[in-house]
Amino acid sequence: MRYATRVFKVNFAAMKQVLIQSTSGDQHPLKGRTVTLAFHKLHPCFAAEVSGLDLRQVHDQETLSLIRTGMDEHGVLVWRNQPFSNDEQLAFAERFDGTLHAKTSVAVLGKNRFGNEALTDISNVNESGQILAADDRRRMSTISNRLWHTDASFEDPAGRYSMLSARVVPPVNADTEFADMRAAYDALDADMKASLEGLRVHHSIAYSRQVLGFEFSQEEKDKLKGAVHPLVRTIPRSQRRSLYLASHAQQIMDWPVPEGRLLLRDLMEHATQPQFVYRHVWRQDDFVIWDNRATMHRARSFDDQKHRRELRRTTTLDLPLASAA
């Protein structure tokens, strides 16, 4: 189901000539062209499908700023027919939002098959393209992505935007769900909001992996110390308040562990009610961007011992972006 549509136009006539290198090697000047961005709402609270652009060709700050404005409002943006290469995805992520997150949990388990830790391998295959064995440590770790989580909340600075490119989509549903943490916060009563003010939470990926029985070695744990973040955040550009939760949320600082974990569990259950959740059904060459400060997400289960599923993720760190509008 789709909801309201908003349209933005970018006119390049008043801008300097911008030359975009296409994958075929041809150069395409954007000067004098008007690009229309249409945001089609996918859920009453958040998430929109965007049409009107090949993101590989977006270099100008005016268009990038409009995309950021769309992120401020919708939290999740879905783009169809975006056949990124690895290098193109990395380049766009840096143009769009700056410094990339490369200190991932997968990186401590083995070498990245793409040669760049900033390009996270969200797949169930090995270096040869064969499906990972059920007991492969890489699979046993990444299966925890089926828990509700927020990317890189176990780092400081944490993740800001994540960008996921669908390269191989299985013939069965292997969807991703997103939860709007801004709407979830808005729905809390005044007393609960007041009780959450000032609370800080320790996030640890070693904790979230352990929940499903995966154990890092001590050497691996030493590389994944975790980080502390506020339980409620104010998103700078939109000034909206948002719960900041994840399966990585291990404990509330200065609280007894049981009481803290019970509150975190209650808030997770509240925030993932159906009225706050959008479910994305993947198509080949989909490209989805989400704001980790405003959403949680989780992968849904499928027969990963039978069907290949390959996606590539880039995540930016929540650092000042000098060129952003």
Distance CA 235, CA 200 (A): 16
Reported pTM: 0.90
Residues 6 or more apart whose Cβ sits within 8 Å of residue 263: 252, 255
Tell me: pLDDT of 107 over 50. yes
Tens of pLDDT along 183-224?
A: 999 999 999 999 999 999 999 999 999 999 999 999 998 989
Asked if the model's pLDDT at residue 6 lies above 90, the reply is no
Specify the CATH number of the domain 5-317.
Answer: 3.60.130.10
Give the Cα separation of 117 and 102 in Å (integer): 5
Give 203's strand partners: 227, 249
Q: Is 77 helix (H, G, I), strand (E, B) or coil?
A: strand
> Are the CB atoms for 242 and 235 separated by under 8 Å?
yes
Please state the φ and ψ torsions of residue 246, each to the nearest 5 degrees.
-175, 165
**pLDDT of 106:** 72
pLDDT recorded at residue 1: 59
Domain ranges of the chain: 5-317
Q: What are phi and psi of 314, to 5 degrees?
A: -120, 140
pLDDT digits (tens, 9 = 90+) for 131-147: 999 999 999 999 999 99
Please state whether 321 falls in left (phi above 0), alpha (psi between -120 and 50) or beta.
Answer: beta
pLDDT in tens, 253-282: 999 999 999 999 999 999 999 999 999 999
Question: How would you class 116 by CB atoms within 10 Å of its CB: exposed for 0-12, middle for 13-18, buried for 19 or more?
Answer: middle
Is 80 within 8 Å of 283 (Cβ atoms)? yes
Q: Residues 10-26, buried b or exposed e (16+ Cβ, 10 A)? A: bebeebeebeeeeeeee
Beta strands in the chain (DSSP E): 5-11, 19-21, 27-29, 34-41, 48-51, 76-79, 120-123, 159-168, 176-180, 200-203, 227-230, 232-234, 241-243, 249-252, 277-280, 287-291, 295-299, 310-317
Cα dist from 237 to 54, 69, 79, 152, 231, whole Å: 25, 9, 22, 20, 18
3-state secondary structure of 116: coil
User: Going by C-beta distance under 8 Å and a sequence separation of 6 or more, which residues neighbour residue 90?
Assistant: 100, 116, 118, 119, 314
Longest dimension (CA), the chain: 62
- pLDDT score for 24: 27
